[in-house]
């Protein structure tokens, strides 16, 4: 895995801060001046890097959905031959990593989707749908008793469980990152197992 050591570009700085602010106070709750201030420039300066406030949100949401889907496809391919169980564990692990490392993005992901232009929103929804369907396939391979609608509901519910990380106290009240990840992983598997009945 190639870890990048070069400094983040200005666009990336802006996106990161915008994500944090949008997650904290909502898309309409944040002004461009505020986003600018967060990266050390002033409001209108942002327009050298983005067409507008909407464009920032769009790039964030499309990026998130794309990353999730790409990662999931990669894990599916990598673990090929390792059995469905291993793939599911890998999917869960990947989603947890994302939920723990990019809390603001997780928050945005299902909160500000309606603010997008139609074309962007369709794109995001399609990526999300593919991601869900990929999970549904793997889950049904592991838990063979599950019908498709039930499996889909179960997947959405487990996403809700995994995406709860923003609500887990921000401070050091957590049992540590590793322990939290393990706990979430166990609970996800337990939830799926209980779905089968």
Partner DNA sequence: TCACTTTGTTAATGAGCGTTAACGCATTTC
Partner DNA sequence: GAAATGCGTTAACGCTCATTAACAAAGTGA
Which residues here bind its own copies, judged by CB under 8 A? Answer: 24-29, 110-112, 114-115, 149-150, 152-154, 156-164, 167-169, 173-175, 180, 183-184, 186-195, 197
Contact (Cβ atoms closer than 8 angstroms) between residue 154 and residue 192? yes
Shortest spacing between CB 112 and its own copies, in angstroms? 8
Shortest spacing between CB 51 and DNA, in angstroms? 7
The interface partner of residue 47, options being its own copies, DNA, none and the CB cut-off 5 to 8 Å by kind, is: DNA
- In 3D space, the residue among 95, 192, 114, 113 whose CA is nearest the CA of residue 153 turns out to be 192
Counting contacts by CB under 7 A, is residue 38 touching DNA?
A: no
Counting contacts by CB under 7 A, is residue 21 touching DNA?
A: no
Task: Tell me how long the chain is.
Answer: 197
Token pair, residue 112, equals 């500000």
Tally Cβ neighbours within 10 Å of residue 32: 18
Q: What is the DSSP string of 15-70?
A: HHHHHHHHHHH-TTTS-HHHHHHHTTS-GGGGGGT-S-HHHHHHHHHHHHHHHHHH
Cβ closer to its own copies: 81 or 178? 178
The interface partner of residue 25, options being DNA, its own copies, none and the CB cut-off 5 to 8 Å by kind, is: its own copies
Interface with DNA (CB under 7 A), residue from 44, 160, 166, 175: 44
Counting contacts by CB under 7 A, is residue 42 touching DNA?
A: yes
Token pair, residue 152, equals 């889909």
Cβ closer to DNA: 10 or 189? 10
Q: Label residue 63 exposed, middle or buried (CB < 10 Å: 0-12, 13-18, 19+).
A: middle
Which spans of this chain sit near DNA (rule: CB under 7 A)? 10, 28, 30-33, 36, 40-45, 47-49, 52-54
């Amino acid at each position: 895995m190639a870890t990048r050591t070069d400094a983040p570009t200005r666009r990336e700085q802006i996106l990161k801060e915008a994500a944090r602010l949008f997650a904290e106070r909502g898309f309409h709750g944040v002004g461009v001046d505020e986003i600018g201030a967060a990266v050390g420039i002033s409001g209108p300066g942002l327009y050298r890097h983005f067409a507008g406030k909407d464009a920032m949100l769009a790039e964030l949401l499309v990026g998130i959905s794309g990353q999730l889907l790409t990662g999931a496809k990669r894990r599916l391919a990598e673990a090929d031959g390792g059995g469905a169980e291993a793939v599911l564990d890998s999917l869960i692990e990947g989603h947890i990593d994302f939920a723990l490392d990019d809390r603001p993005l997780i928050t945005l992901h299902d909160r500000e989707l309606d603010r997008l232009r139609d074309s962007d929103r369709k794109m995001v929804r399609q990526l999300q749908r593919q991601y869900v369907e990929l999970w549904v396939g793997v889950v049904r391979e592991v838990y063979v008793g599950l019908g498709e609608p039930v499996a889909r509901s179960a997947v959405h519910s487990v996403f809700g469980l995994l995406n709860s990380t923003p609500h887990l106290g921000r401070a050091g009240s957590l049992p540590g990152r590793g322990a939290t990840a393990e706990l979430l992983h166990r609970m996800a598997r337990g939830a799926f197992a209980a779905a089968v009945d």
